[in-house]
Amino acid sequence: GNSVTQMEGPVTLSEEAFLTINCTYTATGYPSLFWYVQYPGEGLQLLLKATKADDKGSNKGFEATYRKETTSFHLEKGSVQVSDSAVYFCALTTTGNQFYFGTGTSLTVIP
Amino acid sequence: DTGVSQNPRHKITKRGQNVTFRCDPISEHNRLYWYRQTLGQGPEFLTYFQNEAQLEKSRLLSDRFSAERPKGSFSTLEIQRTEQGDSAMYLCASSLGGGAPEQYFGPGTRLTVT
């Protein structure tokens, strides 16, 4: 079946620190992979995506590379800011219809 | 384009009552999805429409749940005889479909069943 496993949080970092949030997946077929972000009191927002192996998605300084050999899609950012404090969800779809989400990783960035 | 909107944002109801939520998708999107999210978990798929046709339903969608999208625009999700276990955030999303699979989410309706 299809599933996503994310590293458990919460994660607390100082401003300008390096961020990695691990995500691995299991899928039947060839999934597209996504990172969504949920800021406090807001809905899920698409952060970045990758639709095939070795693709790199990037947005707002965040990056993630679709690694088929390790079935991973880790989220990275070189220098986090306080405004990056949010919950991050890794997700996949194989059909473009039903999405499978991880449990989310809460990030808090302190000044 | 104002994004996906959902109403109401919050709903408190007593066990056994019926509730209905509304979702207005992004206007040019022909696909609409409902998800449920409980505290500390990621969203779980409930059902999906392409235009007015309901094409997929999760096992999570019990007989007490029904969703409609009568004119292929807005959608409603009704829960009959609510139970405390129905307390959750109900999320709506929409997409263009085809080669653009990304879904755009609304702010959600938080349901509390007392």
Measured between CA atoms, the residue of chain B closest to residue A104 is: B42
Q: Name the minimum distance, in Å, from the CA of A107 to any CA of chain B.
A: 13
d(CA B86, CA B90): 10
At residue A73, the pLDDT reads 98
| Phi/psi of residue A36, nearest 5 degrees | -115, 155
What's chain A look like in SS3?
A: CCEEEECCCCEEEECCCCEEECEEEECCCCCEEEEEEECCCCCEEEEEEECCCCCEEEECCEEEECECCCCECCEEECCCCHHHCEEEEEEEECCCCCCEECCCEEEEEEC
Higher-pLDDT residue of B72, B99? B72
pLDDT digits (tens, 9 = 90+) for A79-109: 999 999 999 999 999 887 889 999 999 999 9
Total CB pairs under 8 A between chain A and B: 55
pLDDT digits (tens, 9 = 90+) for B40-96: 899 999 999 999 999 989 988 889 999 999 988 999 999 999 999 999 999 999 998
Chain A CB within 8 Å of residue B45 CB: yes
Question: In this model, does residue A37 exceed pLDDT 60?
Answer: yes
Q: Name the minimum distance, in Å, from the CA of A37 to any CA of chain B.
A: 11
**Residue in A97, A101, A105, A106 to test binding to B, most B beta-carbons within 10 Å:** A97
Chain A CB within 8 Å of residue B2 CB: no
Mean pLDDT of A45-73: 96
Measured between CA atoms, the residue of chain A closest to residue B108 is: A43
At residue A104, the pLDDT reads 95
At residue B90, the pLDDT reads 97
- A11-25, A26-40, B92-106: range with highest mean pLDDT: A11-25
Contact at 8 Å (CB) between A44 and A37? yes
What is the band of B100 on the pLDDT scale with cuts at 50, 70, 90? low
Chain B CB within 8 Å of residue A97 CB: yes
What's chain B look like in SS3?
A: CCCCEEECCEEEECCCCCEEEEEECCCCCCEEEEEEECCCCCCEEEEEEECCEEEEECCCCCCCEEEECCCCCCEEEEECCCCHHHCEEEEEEEECECCECCCEECCCEEEEEC
What is the band of B106 on the pLDDT scale with cuts at 50, 70, 90? very high
In a 13 Å sphere around the CA of B6, the CA atoms on its Cβ side amount to: 27
What is the band of B1 on the pLDDT scale with cuts at 50, 70, 90? low
What is the band of A43 on the pLDDT scale with cuts at 50, 70, 90? confident
B43 contacts A101? CB cut-off 8 A: yes
Question: In this model, does residue B8 exceed pLDDT 90?
Answer: yes
A98 contacts B48? CB cut-off 8 A: yes
Among residues of chain B, what percentage have pLDDT more than 70? 96
At residue B99, the pLDDT reads 65
Q: Name the minimum distance, in Å, from the CA of B80 to any CA of chain A.
A: 24
What is the band of A7 on the pLDDT scale with cuts at 50, 70, 90? confident
Measured between CA atoms, the residue of chain B closest to residue A100 is: B44
Beta bridge partners of B5: B24
What is the band of B112 on the pLDDT scale with cuts at 50, 70, 90? very high
